[in-house]
Amino acid sequence: MSLVDRVHESHVHRRRVRVLARHLAEMLPRDALVLDVGCGDGRLAQAVMAQRPDLAIRGIDVLVRPDAAIPVTWFDGVHIPFEDRSVDAVVFVDVLHHTADPTSLLREAVRVTRETIVIKDHLADGLLALPTLRFMDRVGNARHGVALPYNYWREAQWRDAFAALGLTIEEWRERLGLYSAVASMFFDRSLHFIARVRPVPTGR
């Protein structure tokens, strides 16, 4: 592990897990079966369940790590291997910008959820947003073999995709507090969001 990787692990990743766990614990429904798509090492899901013991979180990922903190099932990155309306909530944490077609994977989430989708991702708006996001992605993911297509969307693109899929935005958070005060000036800014969305009932 390089010096940059060690600094990222000790000063960024641990804080990120702690802060995101708090946000997710506040946004997920009660007594829910949650599917964490692209769950990585599972430490975030584990931290959420520590705060919310009423939740049961299952993970799927294209890269199954042998030391994952939760049980993880492999999937192809395109088709979620769950039946229609088989989970209460689907979570994507910094996953959709790693895909070639975020809309298709969101559509799969709409298919399998009964209630809620929670998305943490990036916003490609603002000065130097794209080079900053690319740098963060390389540092956080390259050593794990994660695909890096750098497919970042502007806020308007996210909102258009939600509308096209019949998703209602119930909550939208920015300024998440992922970094320390100094690092926040460079890496927080308006580059991150968490949204809780819900499929519009079809009446069936």
**Domain range list for the chain:** 3-198
For 99-141, what is each residue's pLDDT tens digit?
A: 999 999 999 999 999 999 999 999 999 778 888 888 877 777 6
The pLDDT of residue 33 is 98
Contacts of 35 (CB under 8 A, 6+ apart): 57, 58, 59, 60, 80, 82, 87, 89, 90, 91, 112, 113
> What pLDDT band is residue 144 in, cutting at 50, 70 and 90?
low
Phi, psi of 76 (to 5 degrees): -85, 0
Domain 3-198 CATH (choose: 3.30.565.10, 3.30.1360.20, 3.30.70.20, 3.40.50.150): 3.40.50.150
The closest of 189, 59, 196 to 127, measured between CA atoms, is: 189
> What predicted TM-score, i.e. pTM, was given to this entire model?
0.86
